[in-house]
Amino acid sequence: MPESTFAELPWQPIYDALNVVVPAIEDRPLASYVEEFSATMADTTAIQYFDRSISYAELNAEANQLANALVSLGVEKSDVVGLHLVNIPQYVVALLAVSKIGCAGSGVSPLMSPSELAYQIEDANISVLISLDDLVDSTLQRLNNPPACLNHVISCSASDHLQPQQAAAKQLAELQCHNYLDLIAQFPADFAQRPVSGDDTMMVQYTGGTTGRPKGAELSVRNLMYNPLQYSAYQPWEIGSEIVITGFPMFHAAGLAFVIATLRHGGQFALIPNPRDVEFMCAQMLARPPTRLAAVPSLFQMLVETPAFKQVDFSKLRIANTGAAPMASGDRQKLEEIIGEGKVSDMFGMTETGPVHVSNPPGASVPEAVGIPVPGADTRIVDLETGTYEMPFGEAGEIITSGPHVMKGYLNLPEESLNSLRQWRGKTWMYSGDVGYMDPQGYIYLCDRAKDMLIVGGFKVFSVEVEDKLQSMEEIAMTALIGRPDTKRPGNDIVHLYVEPAAAAKELDSSELEARILAFCREHMAPYKVPKAIHIIDAIPLTAVGKIDKKALRVNSD
């Protein structure tokens, strides 16, 4: 194919009009910023948790205590610490402690089943897991054979920073379990930052994989510390004065990105443990009007329908970020009627890209598009067959991106890393699997999601992972998972499972088979992955080459 003739950076005129510059790279660990702020603005609130304000001095001191505690448990730079928590202060403290030591962290979803948890612990080689006490009881206690790499569990409570209470350490077979408050109380509040380079792994964040197992994306210090500067370049942060409220959980790539950006700039981060509690979220906004707001479209939809949201003072709001799913134009209009026009900014990307590589500039957004490449990101559209021909404007292809935001690779998966990270035009590019096209101004429009990926409540559900797990059931011969649009939550899918019964299920009626499948799913999968509708059919349709024909299922289900 002949090479297409794009301008080098078709979106550059938009940068020029908005006075956007590509930010410089500064490979400083996150903890070093908090250490600095603990001295220069010690009493400034870093974390707001219900009515509890935690200053930068307090946050840094507690992070130092935890860093000392982790070192005493044998944690070294080469280790991985698991953060099995919801949005509570200990997550932020642990993120900083890991940064001070220079080891890697790994966000572990509280929604995981015991088998999913065990897989991530073993795959990431997690030696210490910091977990919520409720999760220790509900999930860790159900691990039949804890992975050999896991040596210690630190159990903490959601009330530790509100009404701390004496609690005995949890008892776990074969594992040493420590009470968080008792453990850190044994150590001093001073810790010298260990040497860290930009290429060091900062987090191992898990995402769905084509092999049916989640993959650990190795994200470096440079990836995670630079990306906030990229997606914030349209609305740069004001040091020490920002108030950030987001419904994204910190174990999710977006939530992680926002807490990193906030602490890097001396801002105040409001913790929202349960984003579905919109009344609480609104109460936080009424008490401390945000300068930055972020949520998935469905949560913004819920907020708009909440009377208290309309009472919030949004005069200081600078930007409202949305991502993980498209926002319907009608919902965008309703939101802007409340918060002000020109403040909504779409974000698009993936865990592997830090996570944002495309964003709609506030004030210059094209609502139908996901935006233009963020500064420092070269994002292109290439042909689906070879991935080496740049598609003409307006023609669909695979979205790829290159720059300091792109991950190091997938942990322990060299072949998948080589397939996703490819050399082209002298750069390393992340091949996203998402299909879209670019217009002559550089705006990118999505045509389709990554193959067979669903969005449920802002979370990605990879059908192959669910299908592979179900194949262990003797009652099942073959399965296919598809999504149908959730009309009540635009941008989200309803999970539909199609099942071809095996010979072992011939004696069962459909209701009994459905009940067994549902029980299996609830036992072995996170709740958002559990099918909402199960269809028992005689045979799963196949294409001419023997692949499952999901297109036929989608057509027949409409």
Higher pLDDT, 461 or 309: 309
Give me the percent of the chain exceeding a pLDDT of 70.
95
pLDDT band, residue 19 (cuts 50/70/90): very high
Q: Do you know the residue count of the chain?
A: 558
Q: Please state the rounded mean pLDDT for residues 279-298.
A: 95
pLDDT at 452: 67
pLDDT digits (tens, 9 = 90+) for 150-163: 999 999 999 999 99
Q: Which long-range contacts (CB under 8 A, 24 or more apart) does 133-142 make?
A: 133/157, 133/167, 133/170, 134/158, 135/84, 135/85, 135/110, 136/170, 136/172, 136/177, 137/170, 139/112, 139/113, 139/114, 140/114, 140/172, 140/175, 141/172, 142/114
Name the average pLDDT for the chain. Answer: 91
The H-or-E segment that residue 68 falls in is helix 56-72
CA distances from 124 to 74, 155, 207, 336 (A): 17, 20, 13, 42
What would the mean pLDDT of 509-524 be, rounded to a whole number? 92
225-237 CB burial, b ≥16 within 10 A, e <16: bbbbbbbbbbbeb
pLDDT at position 372, please? 97
Q: Tens digit of pLDDT for each residue in 415-444?
A: 999 999 999 999 999 999 888 899 999 999
DSSP state of 354: S
Residue 1 confidence (pLDDT): 39
pLDDT digits (tens, 9 = 90+) for 188-198: 999 999 999 99
Neighbouring-strand partners of residue 106: 82
Among the listed ranges 196-205, 382-391, 467-476, which one has the minimum average pLDDT value?
Answer: 467-476
pLDDT band at 557 (very low <50, low <70, confident <90, very high): low
Residues whose CB falls within 8 Å of the CB of residue 45, separated by 6 or more in sequence, listed in order: 53, 54, 55, 56, 268
pLDDT band at residue 107 under the 50/70/90 scheme: very high
The string of pLDDT tens digits covering residues 308-349 is: 999 999 999 999 999 876 777 778 889 999 999 999 999 999
Q: What is the pLDDT of residue 210?
A: 44
